[in-house]
């Protein structure tokens, strides 16, 4: 996660916390979804339904783009790096 500089917290849900960050090399702003659950191996991460679905659906103009999967073996922590959007689906629906 040292390739990213954390900017602010975007939100939190039951399974994860979302942070806004900046890629230190490209200066691109991204959203990092930090999962609360820990995982035993990269095999268990790759078998997650969310990761499988996002990989299969890329590139689709209506699906948020998964840029990178960050897995820390010693701690079992998982973070998914996405393109940063201005709002989420819930905020869009609520605003109508």
With tokens 């942070």, the residue in question is 19
Q: Which residues pair with 30 in a beta bridge?
A: 21, 83
- List the CATH number of the domain containing 74: 3.30.200.20
Q: Which residues pair with 34 in a beta bridge?
A: 17, 79
- Residue range 69-89: average pLDDT? 91
Cis bond upstream, residue 59 (ω within 30): yes
Inter-CA distances, 69 with 81, 90, 94, 96, Å: 6, 24, 30, 33
> What's the confidence (pLDDT) of residue 95?
82
> Model pTM?
0.87
What is the domain count for the chain? Answer: 1
| pLDDT of 73 strictly over 80 | yes
Question: Can you give the residue range of the structural domain that contains 9?
Answer: 4-95
For 28, which DSSP code? -
């Amino acid at each position: 996660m040292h390739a990213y500089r954390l900017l602010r917290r975007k939100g939190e849900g039951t399974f994860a916390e979302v942070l806004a960050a900046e890629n230190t090399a490209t200066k691109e702003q991204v959203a990092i979804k930090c999962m609360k659950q820990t995982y035993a191996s990269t095999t268990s991460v790759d078998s997650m339904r969310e990761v499988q679905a996002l990989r299969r659906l890329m590139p689709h103009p209506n699906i948020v783009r998964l840029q990178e999967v960050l897995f820390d073996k010693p701690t079992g922590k998982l973070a998914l790096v996405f393109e940063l959007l201005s709002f989420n689906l819930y905020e869009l629906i609520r605003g109508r």
